[in-house]
Amino acid sequence: MSALIKLHVALALVGAVVTAAAAQEEHQHHEHHSDERTQSERAHIPPDPPQHPMGDMSEEEMAEMMDMDDTAPFGMVAFDQLEWRDTDGGDALFWDGRAWFGNDYDKALLKTEGERFDGDYEGSAELLWDHVISRWWSLQGGVAHDFGEGPSRTWAAFGVQGLAPYWFEVEALAYVGEEGRTAANFSAEYEMFLTQRWILQPKVELQLYGKDDPANGIASGFSDAELGLRLRYEIRREFAPYLGVVWSRKFGDTADLAREHGDDTDEFQIVAGLRAWF
């Protein structure tokens, strides 16, 4: 045993000693040691060359044969919000969801957000291409369509989506529509783990317009903001009911338009809903 300890020390001290020490140890175990080769060198036998080597094949063929394809696409459907809202005018249903399909670099993305109130639908649907451009950010571009009581508007959309420092999920999109209309939308959300399954999610959303659109109750400038705070319980990660509060407010001339209509310019709502994805 003490020989082994000595050997240990030797090994730790100088690399060059390794082979010598091993050979020395070899002396103790075996009689014949014709050269300086280590015990391992003598024992090791390289394999024969393959008799039936694999030939060339395309990347696709190889992926199929290996059953391993790191370019394979995935898809996801997610409803971040699918909720009932207690508005001043009565019950409303609200949704915010997305579906995507694609690989690590590029995804086709469908986003939709809206409200059903009094039998009428108002909201937007966007069909975007998402291309990853940096560690945490991707570019998005495509078309958006707003629908509702007033005339529908179609826009070209362009922006970024990603994860900002401190784990803020951020989305910022600019829109260019017909007749010189422009708009911008910004949203940020955060997830606070109260426990492993109780999660508090603050979210802020801001809306700007570049041009008046009175038929839709919109005036140029910073038009409205929404602050939400939702507490969900993840029964499963992909299935989480929640309760929350939402405070929304219209600003500037958009607020004036609302007042002219007899609508509130700010509202506080209790919400209850389901967050689900698959």
Partner 1 sequence: MSSMIQSPRARRPQLSRRSFLQAAGAGLFVLGANRGADVWAQSQTQTVLTGSHFDLQIGEAPFNFTGHKRIGTVVNGQIPGPLLRWREGDTVTLRVSNRLAARSSIHWHGMILPADMDGVPGLSFAGIPSGGEYLYRFKVNQHGTYWYHAHSRFQEQTGLYGPIVIERRGGERFPTERDYVVMLSDWTDLDPERIFSVLKKHSDYYNFGRRTAGDFFADVRKNGLSRTLADRRMWGEMRMNPTDMLDVSGYAYTSLMNGVTPTGNWTGLFSRGEKVRLRFINGSSMSFFDVRIPGLKLTVVATDGVDVEPVSVDEFRIGAAETYDVIVEPKDDRAYTIFAQAMDRSGYARGTLAPSLGLEAEIPPLDPRPLLTMTDMGHGGHESSSATPMEHSQMDHGQMDHSQMNHAPANPHAGHGAGAPSTTLEHPPTEQTPLLDMQVNRPNTGLDDPGVGLRNNGRRVLTYADLHTIGGPIDRRQPGREIQLHLTGHMERFVWSFNGQKFSEAKPLKFQLGERLRITLVNDSMMTHPIHLHGMWSELEDASGNFQVRKHTVNVQPAQKLSYAVTADALGRWAYHCHLLYHMEAGMFREVHVEPADGMADHSGHGDHS
Q: Give 66 or 90: the residue with its C-beta nearer to partner 1.
A: 66
Write out the two tokens for 100. 């995507």
Q: Is 273 left (phi over 0), alpha (psi -120 to 50) or beta?
A: beta
Q: How far apart are CA 160 and CA 158, in angstroms?
A: 7
Q: How far apart are CA 75 and CA 114, in angstroms?
A: 22
* Single-letter amino acid code for the residue at 165: P
Binding site residues, partner 1, CB under 8 A: 4, 7-8, 11, 14-15, 18-19, 22-23, 25-26, 37-41, 43-59, 62-63, 65-71, 74, 76, 104-105, 132-136, 163, 165-167, 192-197, 237-238, 277
Neighbours of 8 (CB within 10 A): 11
Q: Give 55 or 119: the residue with its C-beta nearer to partner 1.
A: 55
Kind and range of the H or E run holding 25: helix 17-29
Q: Is 207 helix (H, G, I), strand (E, B) or coil?
A: strand
Q: How far is the CB of 17 from partner 1 (least distance, A)?
A: 9
Q: How far is the CB of 139 from partner 1 (least distance, A)?
A: 11
Q: How far is the CB of 166 from partner 1 (least distance, A)?
A: 4
β partners of residue 172 = 160, 186
Q: Give 192 or 215: the residue with its C-beta nearer to partner 1.
A: 192
Q: How far is the CB of 239 from partner 1 (least distance, A)?
A: 12
Q: Give 15 or 180: the residue with its C-beta nearer to partner 1.
A: 15
Q: Give 100 or 222: the residue with its C-beta nearer to partner 1.
A: 100
